[in-house]
Structures are given as C-alpha cells and as structure tokens.
Amino acid sequence: MITLEDIKKAARTLDGIIHKTQFLYTSTLSQLTGGSIYLKTENLQKTGSFKVRGAYYKIASLTDGERSKGVVAVSAGNHAQGVAFAASRFGIKSIIVMPEFAPVAKIVATMNYGAEVILHGKNIDQAKEKALELALKGMTLIHPYDDPYVIAGQGTIGIEMLEDNSALETIIVPVGGGGLVSGIAIAAKSIKPGVKIIGVEVEGYDSLKISLDEGKRVCVPGRLTLADGIAVGICGDIPFGVIKEKVDEIVVVSDDDISSAMFWLLERAKYVVEGAGAAGLAAILAKKIGLAGNKVGVVLSGGNIDLSMLQLIIDKGLVKEGRRVEVRVIVPDKPGQLKGILELLGNLGVNIYSINHNRVSEGLTSGFAEVELILETRNRDHAANVISTIQENGYILR
C-alpha cells in the first residue's frame, strides 16, 4: 500500500519543515563492537522526536475542509508534540487528549506548541474514547502509527540514512506500534534490497515478536518501563503487514539494557536520549545482535525525558560501573574518629558525595556511631580496594 514514491513525496513535503538530522559515525562504539556504527540523531529533531515527520505529512495530506475542522490525537508524549507542532504550522486547531497521569513537562510542552490539552481517563484507552468522541464531531484523528501517511513520513528517515551512507548493511530501529520500522523498511529495502532491518522491542511490550511467531497480531498486557515511547500493547495493523514482509529480525531488550545504553550515550556521545530512543543501541551493547564487520545505522528515535528520570539513569549507571558506592562504617563515638576515616578516604583518592553521622541507628551498640557515606570512585576495582583498605585499617563495615 505504501511505496518508495509515497515516501519520496513525504520527503519533499517535509523539506524545510523538519531537520535532516545528522547521521554520525562513532569510532568508540565501532571499536567496541567490531562493526562500523552510525547514529541517526532523531533525538535532535524538532519536538525532540521523529514523530513530527509522520504527523506533519498526515496533516499536509488533509483537504482544506478537513483541516478547517481541526485535528485530534491521543498521546502522553512524543506524538502529542509532533501533532501540536504540525497543526500550528498549518494554523489549525489541535486537541491532544492525554491520560490524567501524563507528566507535567509533556503537558506544558504540548501546550507550548499550540495545542489544547484535555486530560481524560486513567490510561491511554480511556483517553482514546474521548478522542474518538471528538473525531465523530468532525475533527480528524491523527493516529500515531497505523496510518499510511504517518508511516510514509517516518520512512523519510530511511531515505536520509542511505543518502548519507549508501554502504549501510544493517539498520536497527526501536519498535512500539511499528510505524517507524515499517516506514524505514519500505524505503530502505526499495533503495537497497539487501539491507537488513532489525526492530527492537522492550520486555513486557514484545507484541510484535510474539505476533510474528504466531502469525497474527497479539496484544500483550505490558508493565512499567522506562521506554514509555515504545510501550504499545499491540502493533498496528498496517505496520504488521509491512513488517512480516520486510523486517528481518526482532530482538527484545530489558529496561536494564536500555538504562545502560542511555548512560553510555550521555557520557560517551554527549546525547540525551529517552528510553525508547536508546532501544536500538541497547540491543548492540547487550550483544543481542552480531555486528562484526557490518556497516550499521542505529536510529536514536527521541530525546524527550524528564530531568528526574535522567538523574536516576545517571545515578544507576554510576552505581553499576562501581563509580558510586555506599558504605556504612562503624566507629567509636569519640572525638577525632570521623576525621580519621575521612583522611583515609582522601588518601585513597575518593570523593565524598554525601555523608551522614548517625548515633541512633537500629542495632548500633552504645558508644559507637555509624557513618553513612556515598563515595565517588574510579571503577569497580578502585571501589573494591577502598572497601578492603577501610577494613584493613580496623573499621567495621555494614
């Protein structure tokens, strides 16, 4: 139903509207994997996500009469902002229905792009009921992935990647509802039939992998995940048909894999990437895909993440690498004892992130105090040396 010509038409429509995001070689990741790895930086796209491509092209396809009645969408994140931005460029009304739990930052961002936001329901399904009610009154519902115009818009990423590097052998794409991977697959396979397309889902939302195994679309119950952008219970009908024909492999990663990939991107590539956007890199770092000798393009699909979540990702990454360690040291409750442990840590090259001196901790013997320390160390070996040295100097750890 969707052809390369459809996607090229979308590219012409989007020219001058969206960013042609950079497709950058990463030597560090290439050395780590043995492949030649390139990152498609849709995290730096307008509205912070690839979603604006499909949303704009869909609205551009509407008649003047349809646009005059406005558009409506259901989303708690990136699709909301893409539709709001696109509608504002056309000067038309947009209503975004969000669940009541939607993050305040995303609500405000969507409103700042010019949309009216309605908070309705406890979940996406309940929010969808309100959006369908508005659609029945004449507004056009902009689906996030199960629409040929939306898919064609997302497929422009595939054209851009092969324009920038025609030698690509593999393209890795995050998968939720399937609009992005199906659009890219159509474009890439039409231009270069031998290119391999790999989709990446997150555990708990592996609807596509299960559906392909069973030969029909299957809905999964889902669970909490930091990859909320691909937390879709069932892949789209149109994408499923495309994926069965054109996508070579689906792999599934964990939240822990994604968290590690986000941390790597922050520290090594200097990119802020949301959970869903880092799924492709997560599959590489977790060695779910063999890439040795391959020229590989990885889509970083979005960068919209709450700052509080970003802080958690940083903290978790530092702990996992042994660069932040919590210790509790039992010392006699006498003058000079705290100074002694601090001097020891200073001599070991440790930075103290936080400290708490506690005399009343449960289980603490009278006459002793517990010093709770969060330490910044260089790596796991350094952390292990710090702990053993503390013990060798007669301090009790718990």
pLDDT digits 0-9 by tens, 150-184: 999 999 999 999 999 999 999 999 999 999 999 99
Task: Identify the active-site residue in 40, 51, 189, 246.
Answer: 51
In the sheet that holds 36-41, the strands lie side by side as 23-25, 36-41, 295-300, 170-174, 196-202, 249-253
What's the pLDDT at 77? 83
Domain 51-141 architecture: 3-Layer(aba) Sandwich (3.40)
- pLDDT digits over 32-50, tens only? 999 999 999 999 999 999 9
Structure pTM? 0.91
Task: Identify the active-site residue in 36, 75, 211, 301.
Answer: 301
- Residues of the chain within CATH 3.30.70.260 domain(s) are 323-397
pLDDT band at 94 (very low <50, low <70, confident <90, very high): very high
- CA R_g for the chain: 25
Domain 4-50+154-316 architecture: 3-Layer(aba) Sandwich (3.40)
Write down the CATH number for the domain with range 323-397.
3.30.70.260
How far is the C-alpha of 334 from the C-alpha of 368, rounded, in Å? Answer: 8
How many Cβ atoms sit within 10 Å of the Cβ of residue 225? 18
pLDDT band at 387 (very low <50, low <70, confident <90, very high): very high
- Residues of the chain within CATH 3.40.50.1100 domain(s) are 4-50+154-316, 51-141
Whose CA is closest to 166, among 155, 178, 175, 158? 158
Please confirm, yes or no, whether 301 is among the known catalytic residues.
yes
How far is the C-alpha of 141 from the C-alpha of 132, rounded, in Å? Answer: 7
- pLDDT digits over 256-272, tens only? 999 999 999 999 999 99
> For all residues of the chain together, what is the average pLDDT?
94
Question: Three-class SS of residue 252?
Answer: strand
How far is the C-alpha of 181 from the C-alpha of 6, rounded, in Å? Answer: 16
How far is the C-alpha of 231 from the C-alpha of 215, rounded, in Å? Answer: 21
